[in-house]
Each structure stands twice: as C-alpha cells, then as structure tokens.
Amino acid sequence: MSRLISRFVQYGNNELELMDFFADKIEKNIVKNDKIYSLSAQYPSARWFERKIRDDFGLVIESCYDKRRLIHHESFPKVYPMRKEFNLFSKLNFDYFEPYDYEKISGSGVFNVSVGPIHAGIIEPGHFHFSQAGEQILHLEVRHFYKYRAVEKMCEGKKIEDIEKIVARISGNESIAYQIGLSNIKYQSKELHQSLEHKLQNAILLEFERLAHHFADIGFIPNDAGFSPALAVGSRYSEDVRRVLKKLTNSRFGFDIIDKELNLFEKKEFILDFLSYLEREINWFEEWIIDIPSLWDRLDSTGILNKKEAIRYGCVGVVARASGIDNDTRSDDNFYTENGFTSCLRYKGDVASRFLVRIDEIKNSLFIIKNMILKLKKTISCNNLALSKDGEYFSLVESSIGEIFMYVKIENSIISRFYVRDPSFINWQALHLMMHNDIIADFPLINKSCDLSYAGNDL
C-alpha cells in the first residue's frame, strides 16, 4: 500500500489523496456547514472532482476558483442526487435555470468557436469551446456530461452481482477493464482467492481489449492527418480482434464475460496462430507507416504535452506514457511483469509519441498474451455464493485508455456507495494544454491521439 500511495503522490493522481484528505477533515470535525477546502490550486485536475462533489452532494468548496456546475447543465433542477435522502419521488423544480459562463480569451481579433455537443460524426455528445486568433488556438474548454446516466445512484442498494451488467456497459472500449475492476472488488469483499487460471484468463481478455482499441486508433490517427489508407488497415485489424473475441467469449466487446468459464485453454492453438498473424501484421504496418514523410510532418511536434504539465495534471495511460511518465498500473503487479510486461514510453509528448506508444503496446500485449496462454491448464471455477462483507474496497485496472479507479462501500452486504473514475476524467482536463501554438484544423488529430471516453465521464 505504501508503494501505491507513493506512486499517486509522485505522479499527482488525486483519488487516494482526495479521499484521505476529506476523510481526515470529517474525522477532525473541520468540515462544517457543508464546506470542504479546495485542492485544485495544488492539483489542477482536482477541479472536476470538486465541481462533481458540489453537484452531487451540495457541498461548498472553499477557495475553489471554479464555482460552475460540471455534471448538471443549465436547466438541471437544483437538487443533489447523490445524497441519501434523494430518490425518484423527490419533488423537482424544472423551472430552474443557471447560465454557464464559458472560459474565454478577449482581445482585438479574438473570436470564439463552439463545436458540439451534437457532432456530424457518430461520437457521443461533447462540447469544445475555442478562443481563436485566426487559425491559432488560444484556449480550449472541454464540457461534457450531457447524458448523466445516474450509474452511481443505480448501483446503490444492490448486491455486487446485481450491478455487473451495468458496470460492463459504462464505457464500451473499456468494458473488460471495468468488469475486472468490479471482479477484484467482489473477490476482496467476499474474501475469496483468485486462482492462477482466473488471473490469467482475465489478463488475456484485458489484453485482447487493448489490442482491439489500439488497432482502431493507429488507423484513425493517420486518417485525421489525411492518410486514409491507415484507417482501412487499422480497422481491419481491430475487426479481426473483435471477431476472435466473439469466438472466445460470444461477445465482440467482451460484455459480461469476466469470471465466466470460457475454456480458453482448449483454444490455445487457435489463439497462438492468431497472435502470430497479428505479430506479422503489426511489424508490416510499422515498417509501412514509418516510411511516409508527409504523415510524420503532421504528427511530429503537434499537440505537445510536456512531462512537467502531464505530471501536474496527474495524467494517466497513453497520454502520460507518451510524455515520458512511467505510470502503468501493470508495472506494480509482479503477475504482469513475470509474464513479459514492459512499460512503453516515449518522451516528446506529441501526437507522434502517442501513436508510437500504441504500436509498442500492441507488440507488448501480443507477447503477454502468448506467455499467459501457454500457462493456462484448466477452466476457471468461480465461487460467487458468499455474501460481501461490510467495508470499503477499491481497485485499479489499466484499461486501453489508462488507469480505472473503482470504489465500493458495502453496508449490510449491499452497496452503499459506488464510484468510478475513468482515465478520461483526468486526461480530458489536460487536453487544452496540447492546443497551444496549434491551429484549429489540428484539433481532431490531437483529440483522436488521446482517444478519450465520453461515456466514461457520463456516469
């Protein structure tokens, strides 16, 4: 635990510090009259946490410079839905309206551009507000949370087994990672032991999910730089992985597959042949894509996030590792390191680095899966009959986007509180830092190089 906490402090990730800070203040009776004290001056990415706390619970954040709503939009009733007294039958005032004041830069020749929340493509709702001087981006504000699915509230009052389908659908590209996070908490709360086969199967599925997402990204990123052939090739590889997932699990996106008896060990030869095919293809793809100078003219030195700022904002996942920060959750797990995991780092923090990290991670995931599949001996068996013991539990899982943090509080064997922090909740806040000195035409490319989840925020 001390190693884990030191890593959070070193890289600026906030969850444990925020929890410890607020818990300490409550225990010492310093939080009074629904007031707590801001951490956003020290940790900029704490700002969204604090705004979410205020929207959910109505707590006043003292000395917080940003007092705007986050997940409650202009016409959302003035209620605090995560308070225990709130329920579906609470009386709501739908005449309430609170204007939202976007961050803007003013000056001669400066104008504002709004993109979204409804987009021409198939992406989910999200608003991007630019301050521009000609083509140059001066500032970007990201505003999401348009659907507010009430995931956290839905999970309250249920047993862990009853929320598995909900958790699996929080964010499609990270479905397996979310399921593993809940599985880890389930095993903790029931004081059950995970067998080696259980760990191997979960990890293999997680790496398959990483492959599917990364292959799609290495196609889409060049496409947003005007090189569409890469999209055709990357999409084909991603589709290949999805079809294999369907054969292995009966679900293209891995819905509802964790802790299930899948008999992966009986399909070793099929999986190994498929891994060999992907290994040949990624080696060919890398050799092909590296030798396109016009593409790298767009990717190099575009959308730079330097290491200092990435640390200050507590960035995670590919975004952090492309800026030289070694914060992959798998690095702290001997189980992963013993099976061939190596942290894939680049150091320029630009679109090119985020693209190359994904290629490196694809190669490493193929190596990890190969090592793990050879160790499988039998079908896993899952004993889920025990009741969850009361307590607070958390889990960290490295999804294809980055580190997922999940927290569950159990009282009387049912969920009293449920919370997840998608890696996108952190990295979206740092996106504006990548826009300085770039033009608005580069925004889709920079945004796609991070490929963050909209749904992961919209709990």
Average pLDDT, the chain: 90
pLDDT at position 18 is 54
pLDDT at position 61 is 87
pLDDT at position 7 is 41
Domain with CATH 1.10.645.10 in the chain: 153-450
- C-beta atoms surrounding 285 within 10 Å: 20
The predicted model gives 393-405 an average pLDDT of 97
pLDDT at 4 over 90: no
With bands split at pLDDT 50, 70 and 90, how would you rate the model's confidence at 122?
confident
- Entry pTM: 0.92
Structure tokens at 419: 């919370």
With bands split at pLDDT 50, 70 and 90, how would you rate the model's confidence at 99?
very high
Adjacent-strand bridge partners of 396: 405
With bands split at pLDDT 50, 70 and 90, how would you rate the model's confidence at 29?
very low
Q: What is the DSSP string of 67-78?
A: -S-SSS-TTS-S
Question: How far apart are the C-alpha atoms of 437 and 218, rounded to whole Å?
Answer: 24
Evaluate whether 206 touches 215 at the Cβ level (below 8 Å).
no
Share of the chain above pLDDT 90, in %: 75
With bands split at pLDDT 50, 70 and 90, how would you rate the model's confidence at 382?
low
Assigned superfamily of 153-450 = Cytochrome-c3 Hydrogenase, chain B (1.10.645.10)
Closest C-alpha among 204, 205, 212, 203 to residue 257: 205
The predicted model gives 290-311 an average pLDDT of 96
With bands split at pLDDT 50, 70 and 90, how would you rate the model's confidence at 16?
low
The predicted model gives 148-161 an average pLDDT of 94
Angle in degrees, 0-180, between the axes of helices 2-11 and 15-27, rounded to the nearest 10:
110
Asked which of 32-41, 104-113, 243-252, 256-265 is least confident by mean pLDDT, the reply is 32-41
The predicted model gives 90-106 an average pLDDT of 87
pLDDT at 6 over 80: no
Q: How many alpha carbons lie under 13 Å from residue 94 in its C-beta half-sphere?
A: 1
With bands split at pLDDT 50, 70 and 90, how would you rate the model's confidence at 163?
very high
pLDDT at position 8 is 41
- Is the bond into 117 cis (omega within 30 degrees of 0)? yes
Q: How many alpha carbons lie under 13 Å from residue 350 in its C-beta half-sphere?
A: 13
Q: Is the dihedral of CA 153, 72, 425, 219 positive or negative?
A: positive
The predicted model gives 161-176 an average pLDDT of 96
Q: Rg (Cα) of the chain, in Å, rounded?
A: 22
Listed in sequence order, the residues at least 6 apart from 300 whose beta carbon sits closer than 8 Å to its beta carbon are 348, 350, 351, 352
Question: How far apart are the C-alpha atoms of 446 and 435, rounded to whole Å?
Answer: 8
The beta-carbon contacts of 97-104 under 8 Å, at least 24 apart in sequence, are 98/69, 98/74, 99/74, 100/68, 100/69, 100/73, 100/74, 100/143, 101/68, 102/129, 102/141, 102/143, 103/129, 103/131, 103/139, 103/141, 104/129, 104/131, 104/139
Per-residue pLDDT tens digits for 255-273: 999 988 888 888 999 999 9
pLDDT at position 19 is 53
With bands split at pLDDT 50, 70 and 90, how would you rate the model's confidence at 315?
very high
pLDDT at position 106 is 86
Per-residue pLDDT tens digits for 185-220: 999 999 998 889 999 999 999 999 999 999 999 999
pLDDT at position 337 is 94
Evaluate whether 49 touches 314 at the Cβ level (below 8 Å).
no
